[in-house]
Amino acid sequence: MANQRLERFYDGLQGFINTLVGARGKGKHPIKTLLNGTWLGHPLHPVITDVAIGGAVLAAVADVAWLAFPVTLAWAPRMAEVAVIAGIAGMLGSFLSGWTDWSDTYGRERSTGILHGILNTLALILYSISVVLRLSDPAGQSIVGAILGFIGLGIITFAAYLGGDLVFKLGVNVNHTAFEHGADDFVPVGALADIPDNQLTRVVADGVPVVLVRHGDKIAAIAATCTHAGGPLDEGELLPNDVVKCPWHGSRFRMSNGRVVDGPATVSEPVYLVRVENGQVALKRQ
Ligand code: FES
């Protein structure tokens, strides 16, 4: 019962986040795509977290140096202050991109992800209080500000460990076609006559699922596993201009070249070369 209530809470929060980032409508969702990192060809969140962690670590080093040698290193709190400000900028970016990524998770990745997010949000609050205390001192010296920073760094470190679990154990935001190597040479996948016109068709080429779209004699083929989280593209929607929409989180890919048109996916789909001979269709990974 408690579990069901928690799941309902997660559903509601994910819906709320998707509304905030404009991903509830049927059209494109540029804000969400921006925060996912589609434009970068790589998830944005892990890039920004480096800034957050770097700022937090540098601030802690400067604070320790100042506390150890308060007279000789009286300038160190200023350095810590600048590092905290840079770290907070990174934390804000991580906050926005991280919660956006979380809004597409479910199961264990969703429960681990929310803990990761709550801890980092708590650290962001502590660092924000810390920077206010530092800025209110003419020399930027605040023992409480430094202590809050140390606590924040401890929280961030544990949250980063959970972030590692999310990626390396649970596979969040990894390319779900990374281990699909596909055929080195053309392999037959069926008769041309069995492939209907203007609709998504799933075939299997050398053990790898591929989705086809046929227009007369022309066939476009890309991997059927969505790079974002593994959704079956052949069960998605075929949009105008041969764009396929994933049924799970709505990523859109161009059938002609596999490129991502709209996130949350950040990685293009593998493309297959198509050969038609004697009425038989054969595919080879490009
Ligand atoms: S699995 Fe998430 S958009 Fe396809």
**203 exposure class (CB count in 10 Å sphere: 0-12, 13-18, 19+):** buried
Lowest mean pLDDT among 129-133, 180-184, 227-231, 281-285: 180-184
- The residue contributing the CA closest to ligand 1 atom 2 is 249
**244, 231 contact by CB (below 8 A):** no
**18, 53 contact by CB (below 8 A):** no
To test ligand 1's pocket by mutation, which of 32, 222, 228, 234 has the most ligand atoms within 8 angstroms of CB? 228
If you measure from the C-alpha of residue 187 to the centroid of ligand 1, how many angstroms do you get, rounded to a whole number?
27
Compute the average pLDDT of residues 16-39.
Answer: 85
To test ligand 1's pocket by mutation, which of 102, 246, 260, 262 has the most ligand atoms within 8 angstroms of CB? 246
- At 183, is the pLDDT very low, low, confident or very high (cuts 50, 70, 90)? confident
pLDDT for residue 212? 95
Q: Residues near ligand 1 with C-beta < 6 Å?
A: 104, 226, 228-231, 246, 248-251, 264-265
Tokens of residue 124, six digits: 């962001």
* Non-local CB neighbours of 42 within 8 Å, separated by 6+ positions: 266, 267
| Mean pLDDT across the chain | 92
Which has the closest alpha carbon to 105: 164, 158, 170?
170
Which has the closest alpha carbon to 183: 278, 280, 275, 279?
275
Q: Using only C-alpha atoms, what is the Rg of the chain?
A: 24
Domain architecture of the chain: domains with CATH: 2-169 (no CATH), 187-285 (2.102.10.10)
pLDDT of 28 over the 80 cut:
no
Compute the average pLDDT of residues 65-79.
Answer: 92
Compute the average pLDDT of residues 81-97.
Answer: 96
pTM for this one? 0.87
Compute the average pLDDT of residues 168-190.
Answer: 89
**77, 141 contact by CB (below 8 A):** yes
pLDDT of 224 over the 90 cut:
yes
Compute the average pLDDT of residues 189-203.
Answer: 92
Compute the average pLDDT of residues 170-189.
Answer: 89
pLDDT for residue 25? 67
* Non-local CB neighbours of 8 within 8 Å, separated by 6+ positions: none
